[in-house]
Structures are given as C-alpha cells and as structure tokens.
C-alpha cells in the first residue's frame, strides 16, 4: 500500500530534482550506484555503533535515489531492462545492509542474540519475499498479490523505529524499545507476506497447469 501511494507522491515531489540532475549530465545509473553506496555507508557505519538516529538520517537521504533514478530515466526516455535490473538488484543490496547493520549491533555492543537473529530473519525473509514474486513472474504467472509487508513497509517501519530509538542519545527516555518492536513487526509481517505469495503462486500454477491440460485435450498425453 505504501509502495502504491507514497511512491506516486514522492515521484511528483522529486521530478524537478531529477530534471536538474539530467541537465547537469548525471546518468540514472550513477544515481542508483551513489544511492546504494550511501545507504550501505549509513547502515554499516552508524548502526553497528548504535548511532541509530544519524544512521537513519543518512539512509533516508540516499534511499530516495530509488525514486529519482527511475524518474530520470522516464524523463530522458532511456528506460531499459538493464536499468530495471540494476535498480532491483541494488535494492536488495541496500536492504541487506540495513538489516545487517542491525544484526551487527545486536551481535556486538547491543548484546542480544535473539534480536540479532530477528534482524537476520528480516534480512533473509525480505530477500525471499522479493524472490518469490520475481520467480513466479519468470515462469509466466501474474503473482496477483502484494502481501502485508512489502519493501516500502519494511523500510519505513524499520527506519522510523531506528530513528526514534536513536533519540535516546539526546536524552529521550524509553525510546530504545521501539527498534526491537519494529524488527519484530517486520519479521512477522514478512513471514505472513511470504506465505501469502507462496500460496498465491501455488494456486496460480495449479490453475495454469489445469488450463494447459484442458487445452491440450484428453488424447494428448503420453501413453504409458
């Protein structure tokens, strides 16, 4: 849901900035690469040190590159399969860095093996949720379901929770608990989304197989 409405809003807001970058001779691929590098730096430098507020600020600045690069490509009329592939691939890298940063904190100074495991589960389940849709579509199925927690929801929940938890550094009491709550919400939501997509692919594949068998007719099977 966030992916549908928030993306449309921010695309309109960032259109002038995308046009400016094009006039300056910046390519959409360069924006994609710089944005991913910025997200990785914010997550893997600040989060393992427990600097959740500043890490979230850095990541938020660079995460909008995911909207700017596509906007640039459309304005310039240079949308391509390569650009879509690069964007999707580096999205997975950025997501892995964010939840990897959380896992490193809890494996180190955060000293909480359970939350470290939850962060790793968020990382892995997010990758698999994306894979199930891509793989289903690659075998010709529509995968007509988004699920409870998509990438936009995973990022918003985890980054808002981390940013607010980081306010503890400025003397705000009790906010540290928000990051564990956010990670648990993402973990459970990702699991539900994964189940939703797997069930959908199973149903759609059964329907497609039945339709093919019906179209082939009763006499087309191989004799045994």
Residue numbers annotated as active site: 91
Q: Is 29 annotated as a binding residue?
A: yes
Closest CA to 123 of 79, 167, 186: 186
Q: Is 30 annotated as a binding residue?
A: yes
Q: Is 80 annotated as a binding residue?
A: yes
Q: Is 145 annotated as a binding residue?
A: no
Q: Is 32 annotated as a binding residue?
A: yes
Q: Is 209 annotated as a binding residue?
A: no
Residues 204 and 144 sit within 8 Å (Cβ to Cβ): yes
Torsion of CA 25, 29, 30, 35, to 10 degrees: 130
3-state helix/strand/coil string of 99-161: HHHHHHHHHCCCCCHHHHHHHHHHHHHHHHHHHHHHHHHHCCCCCCCCCCCCHHHHHHHHHHH
* Interatomic CA distance for residues 194 and 214, integer angstroms: 30
- What is the DSSP-derived secondary structure letter of residue 222? P
Q: 178: which 2 tokens?
A: 């928000």
* Interatomic CA distance for residues 59 and 104, integer angstroms: 17
Residue numbers in the known binding site for a CDP-1,2-diacyl-sn-glycerol are: 29-32, 70, 74, 80
Residue numbers in the known binding site for Mg(2+) are: 66, 69, 87, 91
Residue numbers in the known binding site are: 29-32, 66, 69-70, 74, 80, 87, 91
């Amino acid at each position: 849901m966030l992916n549908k409405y928030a993306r449309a809003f921010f695309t309109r807001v960032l259109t002038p900035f995308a046009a400016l970058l094009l006039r300056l001779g910046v390519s959409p691929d360069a924006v994609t690469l710089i944005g991913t590098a910025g997200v990785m730096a914010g997550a893997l430098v600040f989060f393992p040190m427990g600097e959740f507020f500043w890490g979230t600020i850095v990541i938020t600045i660079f995460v909008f590159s995911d909207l700017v690069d596509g906007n640039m490509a459309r304005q310039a009329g240079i949308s391509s399969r390569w650009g879509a592939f690069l964007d999707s691939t580096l999205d997975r890298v950025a997501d892995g860095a964010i939840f990897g940063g959380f896992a490193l904190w809890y494996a180190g100074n955060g000293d909480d093996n359970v939350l470290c495991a939850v962060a790793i589960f968020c990382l892995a389940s997010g990758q698999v949720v994306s894979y199930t849709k891509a793989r289903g579509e690659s075998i010709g199925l529509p995968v007509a379901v988004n699920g409870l927690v998509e990438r936009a929801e995973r990022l918003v929940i985890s980054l808002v929770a981390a940013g607010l938890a980081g306010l503890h550094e400025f003397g705000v009491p009790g906010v540290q608990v928000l990051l564990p709550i956010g990670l648990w919400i993402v973990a459970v939501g990702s699991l539900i989304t994964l189940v939703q997509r797997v069930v959908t692919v199973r149903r759609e594949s059964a329907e497609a197989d039945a339709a093919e068998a019906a179209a082939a007719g009763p006499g087309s099977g191989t004799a045994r």
